Amino acid sequence: MNEAASKDKRRKLVDATMRRYGHSQYALIETLHSVQEVYGFLDDENLKYVSDALRVPLSKIYGVATFYHFFTLKPQGDHTAVLCTGTACYIKGVPAILSAIRNNFSVEAGETREDGKLSLLTARCIGSCGLSPAIVLDGEIAGQITPEIVVDRIGRMIQNDA
Amino acid sequence: MTPEEFKKIGETHQKKREAFKYNINVCTAAACVSLQSEKVKDELASQVKEQGKKESCRISGTGCLGLCASGPLVTINNGQALYGGVKPGDAADIVKSIDKKPVKRLEIPADMPFFARQTKIALEHCGNTDPEVLGDYLALEGYEALYNCLTTMQPVEVIDTMVKSGLRGRGGGGYPVGLKWSTVHKAVGTKKFVICNADEGDPGAFMDRSMLESDPHSIVEGMAIAGYAVGATHGYVYIRGEYPLAIKRLKAAIKQAERQGFLGKNICGTPFSFDVEIRLGAGAFVCGEETALIASIEGKRGTPRPRPPYPAQYGLWGFPTLINNVETFANISPIVRKGADYYASIGTERSKGTKVFALAGSINNTGLIEVPMGITLREIVFEIGGGIIGGKKFKAVQTGGPSGGCIPDEYLDMKVDYESLAQVGSIMGSGGMIVMDETSCMVDVAKYFMDFCRSESCGKCAPCRVGTAQMYNLLNLISEGKATMHDMELLEELCDVVRNTSLCGLGQTAANPVLSTIRFFRDEYLAHIKDKKCPAGVCVIEHKEEAVL
Ligand SMILES: Cc1cc2nc3c(=O)[nH]c(=O)nc-3n(C[C@H](O)[C@H](O)[C@H](O)COP(=O)(O)O)c2cc1C
Ligand code: SF4
Ligand code: SF4
Ligand code: FES
Ligand code: FES
């Protein structure tokens, strides 16, 4: 499949969401969910597209997109680590784990490393409190982590595709 | 559908289950899935085939069994044997021993206090039905309550049942359910809505998510009953976007219910019509607040507005709207089936029934529990919870998340109900319960929650927007050993101002974690300020070299 065609296909998924809600302005958040799901983040081009399709001013769309933590306006790195900072994890040593990741991989929470290899995100309770402290590495949950374990796992994760 | 036809549906499904001598259930709720319980399930299925036991063994996925910390869990015939920490490689032994003695190395005693001390009503199906199979739900009297309401009760009678049961909202506020339903019922509007609040914002709570993953039909049924009672035809579930498994199961449940005629037009052949739609939250704690949640469903930024008017009068798109929490809805069908009197016979004078808690932190049996109101904290922590990890010393239990407080050991024998918790400066909250041991610093915990409130404040009103940031800065100074007693006074004053002048619950309760820790752990604050020490050794305090005299 060439690039234009795949772009088309993704657009269609976004269109389907808007159609399901009759292109109502109320569908804005659902539509943004859909854009983020198929494109990975909310890019300018798509926001403009949604703005036209739903007849919602771009300024309002930015207002909504930046209000909700779930939405991201920047592309994610090749790999993602989502560290749980919920209460159960916090009291079991997340601050030390967070600084170990920051120091070892030079990436700040909520940001993507300059070389685009790693995004570090935080979440409030990923529902695995029984395994706290917990982290999600490329979609897989790792529980009962220590700074050493995490540094090792992330190191291997980003080296894999070198 | 006639009553006979309806009864038959359930019986057929029940027979299907009973046709197997051994029902092997594998927990497929989030915590166990993260420990690869799906692989365990697959392996069990292939072992059953390999060992030629397909006639006698049925393998199903099931909802959360509660003891999440010991996952993945597997049970045989609902507790005849209970296995924990099961790996795919254990499947062969489990199937081999099915008609013999249980596998010792995996066994968890089913009569341990963790299970024996609980009373399951909202969680009645969690762990004994496959959340993805409607038949399983029907076999356990599913949708019977809805059917009976529609065919034998007037809406006011349903509301009356809720009033008599004494059920109060489980989302945190504890507002009487019967009263709220009655208000929406009486409100005038050409349309009415029912909303299920599944935004679950407390960072460290997972009750609502577990219930949706484990027994989605009970929430759908509860909403439909509520719709009938208040006169609504349309329902929304506002659910956190971060809960993919819960979303998937709820979606499937809605589809199945529509296909079987438990949702949609003319439900069960009666004039009542009701449908349910899902709306995804997008990670803003304040959207759990009802007016903000409504704004969010309308596609806007989720900022609260002043009440009154309450959503019961003026809610979604201006129409009368009933909004209740997931656990509240999970209680509805059991109350209709078992009777208001039964429900009201459990609990204390003003807090009836049971409460689900997500028990976590420094405790051995982390997991999901349901206990009768009026149980003591000591029973929860030391009997059900199995005590503190590593035999450390108990320090406090935190309830109510960022709106609640820390309760010290002198109140361990206090009864858990709305009033008692409020008396000690905490709240029931939605059910997060975090146990802390001597290695937790109370100043640090207060700072943690204030950091949360500061970043979740929607910014609409100044006291909360500016106040939470200021309080955070002061707590930070204290934790770094750089504060004076004057800062402490300022902090206490700020707590008062923010509490009394904020627009919504977020700001009004943001000071609770600070106030409760100051109240019970003042010494710890003073140690940071006067002695420049963190007694628990959590806060990093830089000591300037003292001049040597
Ligand atoms: C900041 C804030 C966050 C809230 N978060 C939730 C939540 O996550 N889930 C919930 O059910 N209620 C939450 N509430 C309470 C709701 O506003 C509302 O009272 C509740 O959903 C009503 O349902 P109930 O009567 O069944 O408890 C929150 C309130 C505030 C002020
Ligand atoms: S300064 Fe005021 S208007 Fe601007 S973002 Fe903050 S709260 Fe909103
Ligand atoms: S109290 Fe805080 S969260 Fe609530 S409306 Fe005001 S600024 Fe927003
Ligand atoms: S607090 Fe981290 S998984 Fe719940
Ligand atoms: S998720 Fe499996 S026991 Fe709770």
Find out whether B225 and B272 touch, Cβ atoms under 8 Å: no
Domain extents for chain A?
Answer: 3-67, 79-159
DSSP B5: H
The reported pLDDT for the residue numbered A5 is 64
Instruction: Kindly determine whether residue B30 and residue A131, on different chains, have CB atoms separated by under 8 Å.
Output: no
Among all bound ligands, the one having the nearest atom to the CA of B202 is 1
Banded pLDDT at A161 (limits 50, 70, 90): low
Minimal-distance CA residue of chain A relative to B238? A30
Q: For residue range A37-56, list pLDDT tens digits in order.
A: 999 899 999 999 999 999 99
Q: Is the pLDDT at A162 greater than 60, yes or no?
A: no
**Amino acid type, B263:** L
Mean pLDDT of chain B: 94
ipTM above 0.90, yes or no: no
Closest residue to atom 8 of ligand 3, CA basis: B458
B267 close to B146: Cβ distance less than 8 angstroms = yes
pLDDT digits (tens, 9 = 90+) for B423-464: 999 999 999 999 999 999 999 999 999 999 999 999 999 999
Distances (CA, A) of B480 to B332, B477, B491, B514, B530: 49, 5, 15, 16, 12
Do the beta carbons of residue B527 and residue B443 sit within 8 Å?
A: no
Chain A, nearest residue to B245 by Cα? A127
The amino acid sitting at A115 is D
Q: What percent of chain B has pLDDT over 90?
A: 86
pLDDT at residue B361, rounded to an integer = 93
User: What does the pLDDT average to over B513-520?
Assistant: 97
Task: Note the pLDDT of residue A6.
Answer: 66
Measure B235 CA to ligand 5 centroid, in angstroms: 28
Whether residues B366 and A33 touch (CB distance < 8 A) is answered with no
Topology given in CATH for the domain delimited by B443-548: de novo design (two linked rop proteins) (1.20.1440)
CB contact (8 A) between residue A25 and residue B398? no
Q: How far is CA B137 from CA B1, B123, B323, in A?
A: 18, 13, 25
Q: pLDDT tens for residues B179-212?
A: 999 999 999 999 999 999 999 988 888 999 999 9
More confident residue, B150 or B17: B150
Q: What is the mean pLDDT of chain A?
A: 90
Within the 84-113 window of chain B, which residues sit less than 8 Å (CB to CB) from chain A?
Answer: none
Give pLDDT, residue A4: 65
CA of B291 to the centre of ligand 1 (A): 10
Residues of A whose CB is below 8 A from B452: 124
Classified as helix, coil or strand, B221 is helix
Q: Could you tell me where the beta strands, DSSP code E, fall in B317-366?
A: 321-325, 354-361
Interface-testing mutation among A129, A131, A137, A145, with chain B (most B C-beta atoms within 10 A): A129
Q: How do strand B354-361 and strand A111-112 relate by DSSP bridges?
A: unpaired
- Please tell me the class of the B354-437 domain: alpha beta
Closest among B63, B111, B64, B105 to B84, alpha carbons compared = B105
pLDDT for the residue numbered A2:
58
Is the C-beta atom of A31 inside 6 A of ligand 4?
A: no
pLDDT in tens, A77-128: 999 999 999 999 999 999 999 999 999 999 999 899 989 999 999 988 887 8
User: Is the pLDDT reported for residue B3 higher than 80?
Assistant: no
Q: What is the pLDDT of residue B52?
A: 93
Q: Which of A100, A107, A86 is nearest to A149 (CA)?
A: A100
| Whether the predicted pLDDT of B217 surpasses 60 | yes
- For domain B141-344, the CATH superfamily is NADH-ubiquinone oxidoreductase 51kDa subunit (3.40.50.11540)
Among candidates B34, B210, B360 on the partner chain, residue whose Cβ is nearest the Cβ of A88: B360
pLDDT of residue A126: 81
Beta-carbon separation of B31 and A124 below 8 A: no
| Ligand nearest to the backbone CA of B508 | 3
Fold of the A79-159 domain: Glutaredoxin (3.40.30)
Model pLDDT for residues B51-85, shown as the tens digit of each residue: 999 999 999 999 999 999 898 999 999 888 999 99
B185, B155 contact by CB (below 8 A): yes
d(CA B511, CA B491): 10
CA dihedral B305, B307, B308, B312 (to 10 degrees): 90
Burial of B180 (0-12, 13-18, 19+ CB in 10 A): buried
Residue linked to tokens 């007016």 = B291
Class of domain B17-110: alpha beta
pLDDT band at residue A69, thresholds of 50, 70 and 90?
Answer: confident
Q: Is A1 on the interface with B (CB under 8 A)?
A: no
Ligand 2 test: best mutation among B286, B454, B460, B465, most atoms within 8 Å of CB? Answer: B465
- Per the model's pLDDT, the better-predicted residue between A29 and A131 turns out to be A29
Arithmetic mean of pLDDT, B134-159: 95
Residues of chain B with CATH 1.20.1440.230: 443-548
How far is Cα B316 from Cα B309, in angstroms, rounded to an integer?
A: 12
For the ranges A64-68, B254-258, B335-339, the lowest mean pLDDT is seen at: A64-68
> What is the structure's pLDDT at B133?
93
What does the pLDDT read at residue B285?
92
- How many Cα atoms sit within 13 Å of A92 on the Cβ side? 29
